[in-house]
Amino acid sequence: MLAAFRNFAKSPFAVVLLSLLIVSFAIWGIRDVFHGRISNAVVTAGSREVTPAEFKRMFNLGLKQIEQRQGQPVSLQDAVAGGFDQQILNDLSGAEAFDEFVHRMGVIPADSLVGDAIAKQPDFFNKITGRFDKDAYQRTLAENDLTPDKFETIERDQIAENHLAAGIGAGLRAPKTYGAMVAGYEFESRNLTFFMLSPGNVAKPEPPTDAQLQAFLNAHAAALKLPERRVLSVVRFSAQAMAGSMPADPAAVEKLYNFRKDTASTPEKRSLVQIPVKDAAAAAAVVAKLNQGQDPAAVAKSINVSPISYQETAQSGVADPKVADAAFAMKAGEVKGPIQGALGLAVVKVTDIKPAHQATLEEMRPTLEAQVKKDAAGQKVFDAVQKYQDSHASGSNLAEAAKASGGVVMQIGPITAEGMNPSDAGGAPPQGLTPKLLSEAFKLPQGGETDMENEASGEYFAVRVEKVIPPSVPALAEIKPRLMQAYMIDQITSRLQAKADEALARLKKGETMEAIAASMGAQAQHAQGLTRATLGQNRALGPEAAGKILAAKAGETFSTLTAQAIMVARLDSIQAPPAAQMAPLVLRGEQPLSQQLFDDMGQLMRSAAIAKIKPTIDQARAREALGLSADTTPASSGKGTPKS
């Protein structure tokens, strides 16, 4: 787990020249440059500062992302032990330094650009009108602990970064010589002469004696040593597993239908055009033109106004209530005006009517019954868990508490911390072994057991460690069939390699590949035009053989292990791509090479920003923000200059 933390949040710098992780954190609020400098900053980068509360919020969000990826809770102690807090500080200091760097470069978006960007974000749209809604904007920000000023600052930074990236990307092109070098490397071809030595080309070894197997086991003891294993008793209560067998109470189904039918139903919707007019005379002229079939947009333009169009909109979605009342009393295709609205006179044409639909019980029954079953199963599981907990708290062990609550005890193991049984080669892990269960089981001593643990909604387990088996080399009797198979493979491979070595020695003395192959019961073959792409796709060769072929020099002989045999080969020649093929290859590689240069430049700019701005990190204050003591030993630091 610690390795997962150390590898997390490495700040990839690609299309928008900024860590995607930091951008996602920024969206939930990590800075507010409009409120002045804060004296207790965790990170300082020029004029930018990050408060302890903002750092803690970012840390917690990142921790949730890890938990979602791993499928189990992660404690603060584990996260800090893995250096996750330092990783967040490093990424944050780099992001703040880069934003400060971009600002000092003079890339500062206009307020109008920021406003336009915010107005286009669907999260801030009214669900009925499909347009930007200030109330929805402020409500969404408040739900995420953001003020409009703070969010606008975040948007301004992002626009600046995007503009900088667009400017760099628009003029950045990889030199064609780069493309030629890459094309020459990728598409050069190789010609090969070879033959294959398979198990049929050597004498089959005699089955080993027990003494030979024991010697083989001793020689490979380190590789064959088994990790710690445990035998577990597990009790599970699962609402998901139980839901399918639960009855669907008709009364509960009907009650749920009455609760949901309004939201499941759709109101009548209409498509209409509203044209504002100054007076009754103008309204009459507009009505006449619309009745003649003229385009509403053209009619509106002729009187210097903009039409207001609604597509499949409910009555509540029409901005003017009086216009809405009139429009929803009209027929499809009808034109009416003037209509006295709350905001003035208007002419309305209804272009389409989509009738309302009242969801019926039968339509919703499958969904409703599934929910009723799920709820009933959840309640039954909850009751069983309470009985288990009461029994366990009174002194019962796992088996006794399971019996009292109607649970079933499963015996599992011996298994490793990864849930595998080393004695069952190729077998699937036992069902029900989740990462959280394994984590809890391998924290306990022998004889220890957990309380009933809540793993997810309606999913519970308790586990007892019946036996702990320390790491050990298995006895011969435990693995004899598999060990015998490994012994035979080892013997055959050794004999094949000896044959291959003999063939290579004879090649060096001047014998032909054809003669040597024939003497060993094989046949020489020729492979022409092998490229890196074709070698990589050849599963029969495998990666080791492909690597040997690519590493060999012209005229070199070698042997290599393939997927099914040992290859004895000579690389006859290496050929550059024909000149006629180079031009399209160079053009094809220009874009990915330019993108790679773009990415590299982004990394360099980020490093330059850190060197120029010299962001500082207050590790002690960051630890205090997480509820830890300031003298907690921090993980080794990376970017940023820690304060003393």
Q: What is the pLDDT of residues 175-226, one digit of tens each?
A: 777 777 777 777 888 999 999 999 989 999 999 999 999 999 999 999 888 8
| pLDDT for residue 586 is more than 90 | no
**DSSP states of 222-234 as a string?**
HHH-B--EEEEEE
Query: Between the CA of residue 564 and those of 522, 530, 545, what are the distances in Å?
Result: 14, 20, 11
Question: In whole angstroms, what is the distance from residue 36 CA to residue 39 CA?
Answer: 10
| pLDDT for residue 129 is more than 80 | no
- 231 strand-pairing partners: 467
Q: How many CB atoms lie within 10 A of CB 240?
A: 14
Percent of the chain at pLDDT above 90? 39
Quick one: pLDDT band at residue 26, thresholds 50, 70, 90? very low
Nearest CA to 423 among 487, 488, 480?
A: 480
Query: Count of alpha carbons within 13 Å of 293, Cβ hemisphere only?
Result: 0
193: its two tokens: 């002469």
Cα dihedral 609, 612, 613, 618 sign: positive
Quick one: pLDDT band at residue 346, thresholds 50, 70, 90? very high
Least confident of 88-102, 238-252, 414-428: 414-428
Helix axes 148-171, 579-613, angle to 10 degrees: 140
Q: Each residue of 494-528: pLDDT tens digit?
A: 999 999 999 999 999 999 999 999 999 999 999 99
| pLDDT for residue 312 is more than 70 | yes
Asked if residue 336 lies in contact with residue 348, where contact means CB atoms within 8 angstroms, the answer is yes
Q: Each residue of 256-291: pLDDT tens digit?
A: 998 988 888 888 899 999 999 999 999 999 999 999
Quick one: pLDDT band at residue 8, thresholds 50, 70, 90? very low
Query: What are the contacts of 321-329 at 24+ separation with CB within 8 A?
Result: 323/274, 323/348, 327/270, 327/272, 327/274, 328/268, 328/270
Residue 402: what pLDDT? Answer: 92
- Residues near 194 by beta carbon (within 8 Å), at least 6 away in sequence: 513, 524, 525, 527, 567, 568, 569, 570
Quick one: pLDDT band at residue 35, thresholds 50, 70, 90? very low
Residue 214: what pLDDT? Answer: 94
> Is the pLDDT higher at 85 or at 145?
85
Nearest CA to 118 among 166, 150, 163?
A: 150
Model's pTM, two decimal places? 0.49
Domains defined along the chain, listed by start: 2-171+599-642 (1.10.4030), 189-224+478-575 (no CATH), 229-246+364-469 (3.10.50), 266-354 (3.10.50.40)
**DSSP states of 8-63 as a string?**
S------TTSS-HHHHHHHHT----GGG---TT-SEEETTEEE-HHHHHHHHHHHH
Q: Each residue of 448-498: pLDDT tens digit?
A: 999 999 887 788 999 999 999 999 998 898 889 989 999 999 999 999 999
Q: How many CB atoms lie within 10 A of CB 51?
A: 20
- Residues near 63 by beta carbon (within 8 Å), at least 6 away in sequence: 74, 76, 79, 84
